[in-house]
Structure 1
Amino acid sequence: MFFMRLGRMLLQDKIITQQQLDAALKRQREVGGRIGTNLIEMGFINEKTLTEYLSKHFEVPSVMLSELTIDRSILDLIPQELATKYEAIPFKREGKILHVAMANPKDVFAIDALRFATGFEIKPYVATERSIKKFLEEHYKSKALEDEVMEEIGAEDELEVVKEEKEEETTSELAAMVESGPVVQYVNQLLKAAVKERTSDIHIEPYEKSVRVRFRIDGVLHEMKPPPMKMFKAVVSRLKVMAKLKIQEKRFPQDGRFEARIDGKRVDFRISTVPTLFGEKVALRILDRSQVSLNLRDLGFEEQPLNHLLRALKNPFGIILVTGPTGSGKTTTLYASLNEINDPEINITTAEDPVEFSIMGINQLQVNESIGLTFASALRAYLRQDPDVIMVGEIRDKETTEIAIRASLTGHLVLSTVHTNSAAATITRLVNMGVEPFLIASTLILVVSQRLVRKICPHCKAPLKINEDDLKKYGFEPERFKDKQLFHGLGCDKCRKTGYAGRIGIYEVLPVTKKIRDLILDRATDIEIEKAAVEEGMITLREAGILKVLRGETDIFDVAKETTLR
C-alpha cells in the first residue's frame, strides 16, 4: 500500500505503540484482515484518526462512510462484484465524475476497471477497509432481503389481518385494486421481514424519482431496497386500507392502526401518513408484545434503584413520574410498574395516547383530542370512577399537572411521564409550568429518568482495548476502568454487522426525601437537586451505563451517546 508498511508508519509517527502493533499483528495472523482493521477492532486507534492518516499519506481526500446517506441509485452504479473486489463505494455523482470511497485509492488497475464498468471518470477518496466492508455487508444484506421479498411476491403467502367487530365497507376502486396481486404480497412480506428483524418502526418515503424504505432496529435506521416506483402509491393505499384510512385523502395527515397475525402471534401496527412534496410518507410503529417484558426486573434496573421504585409503588397516594426522550421505553416502564401492583383488590385506570398494549385487569382509555377527550378531561372523569391507581400517558400542561396533584392529594397513586433530560430536571420543569413548589413537595414520591442502550451481540463479542485519551474524549474517567476488561461487538451476520443485538434500559431513580423536599420548597436548581440526590446515593444515568459496561452488557460508545456528563 505504501513503500513502508502501515503499521510501521503509525508506530514511527507515535500514533500507536510497539506493544499495540505486536498485538495487532498477532491478531492479524489469527483472524486475517488488514492491519488497520485489526488496530481499530482492538481499540488502539479510531476510525476517524486512521482515515485522516491515510488521507495524508495517500494525498487524496478522505470520507467517513458512517456519516453519509447515499442514494441507492448511486450505489447501484458499481456492480456488487466490482465493489467487493476493489473495496470501492460510490457516494456522489457530479456530471460525468463519480466520487468513490476506496481502501486503496492509488490502485490504478481498480480505477481503470471502475471507469470502464461505469462510464464515469473516477475521483477516488480514501476510507478504511473496515468501514467499506461494513458498508458493503449492510447494503447487500438489505438488498438481498428485499430481493427475497420480491421473489416471494406472487407466491401463495397470506398474512391475516385481524378484523375488528365493526368493519366499515370500502367501495373505492383503488381499495379493490390493492386487495389482491403483487402489492398485497409485497406489503405482507415487508411487515413479516420487519417483525423478524425486531424492527420498531418502518419508514416509507417518496422522492422525485425514487422511494426509500427504512427499518429502525435497536434505535438505528437501516435502509432497505424499496419497491419499484410504480408500485409505491399502491403500497401506501394497501396500508391505508388495512388501517381503514381514507385512501382518497392525500392532502392531510392521517393516523390509524391494524393488527396482523404473523408467525402465529398478533402484532399491532400504528400507521401515520403525512403529505410531502412527492407523495405521502408513511411511518409504521410496530408493537410486538412478544418482544416486550412487563416485568420490572427484566428491564435493566440496578438493585438499589429498583428497590426504590418498588417501595414507591406500595404508596397508597402520591405521584411517580418517568422521564426520557421519545423512544426511551417510558411506556414500558409504566406498564411494568402497573403490572407489578395489578391485583383484583386494586382499581387501576389509564389514559393513554395511544394505548400500546392491553393488560388484563387494567381499565385503559384512548385519548382523542379531536373530540375533546384530553388527558385532563380523562383524569377528571376517572376521579369519579373510584380509582386506586391512575396512569396518565403524559403530563403536557399545567391543567393536567394540577388535576394529577389533586388526585394524589385525595388519596390516589398517579403515574405519568414528562419530557425532560434528567430526574432532577423534572422537578424544576414542574415549577416552571407554574405549579407551586409546596404542592410538588407534598405529592411527588419518586422520579425515574431513563435511556435505552444497545446490548453487545453475544455472537461476536470481543475484548476492547481503549486508551486513556479516548476514554477522556468520550467523557469517562480513565481511573474508573483501570484494570477492567471492556468489550464490544465486532459485527457478524447475526447482528447485521452492527455489533449490537437488542437494547436494555439504564435508569436514574430519584426518591423525594426530606432533603429533596426542602430543596424543592427553596426553588433549588436541577443541578443543586441532583447533587443532593447523588450525595444520598442516587445512581446517575451515566453511572448506570458504566455499570453495564463493566459487566460487558454494552460498550462505552453507546453509553456515551445516550448519556451526558453533567
Structure 2
Amino acid sequence: MNTATSNSIENVIYRGLTERLVIDQLVTPAGASEIAEVARSQSKTLIQELLDGNHIDSAALATIVSAEYGVPLFNLTPMVHEHLPLDLAPQSLIRKHKALPLYRRGNRLFIAIAEPTNTSVLAEFKFATGIATDSLIVEHKQLLEMISEVIAKQDEVFDGDIADFASAEDYILDLEVEVEEESDFTKLADNAPVVKFVNRVLFDAIKQGASDKHFEPYERECRVRVRSDGVLQE
C-alpha cells in the first residue's frame, strides 16, 4: 500500500458500527475501509457485506450489531424448529429475507434476523401474518442453519403429502374431447385424475407461498399462474 493511501485510511473518521469494529479490534482500520468500499460498490449495507464476506466471527458480529442497533440478542441453540410458528409465515418470505418467525407473545410475532437495517423484513412479515412484529438479532450462521432445517422439513412434509400424485402434466385433460351428454360431465367431475391434478396444483401453490392462483382457459389449453411476492408467474 502506498503512503498516500495509508495516510487517507488513517485520516478516516469511523462512526457507528465501523467504529465499534475497529475499537474492538475485530478489523483493522484499513480492513474497515476496504469492507465499506466493497459494500458501497456493490450497493450493499455494511452489515450485509460483513455477513456475506465472513470478514469477522459470526457470533461476535451478532453481539456488536445487537448493541449498536439496540435490538435484543437471541440464542438459537436451544430452539427446536418443530416449535416455531411456521404456519404463520410463507416459506417464500423466510427464503427472501433469511428471517425466521421464532415465537408469538400476545399480539406480537418475534422474527429472528441478522441484518437489522433491512426495514422491509418486519413490514412484510406483518403484512403476510396480520400480526405486529418485533425483531431479535441472532447469529447469522445459526440462522442459516435453522432456516435450512426448516425448509428441508417443510419440503419433506409436502413431498409426503403429494407422493401419490404424479406430475401435474400427467393429468392435463385433453380439451379436444367432446362431451355430448350431461352424464359425461358427472363422470368428468368424479374422475380421480382431475381431483389429483387440482390437489397437486394447490399443493404447489402453498409450497411456493403464493397469495393467489389464476386458471386461464383458452381454446386448446389452460394456463395456470401463481402470484408470489406480488409477481404473477407461470
TM-score by length of structure 1 reads 0.23
Bigger share in strand: 1
Q: Which has the higher helix share?
A: 2
Give the structure, 1 or 2, with the largest relative contact order (CA under 8 Å, sep 6 or more): 2
Q: TM-score, normalised by structure 2?
A: 0.50
Q: Which has the larger radius of gyration?
A: 1
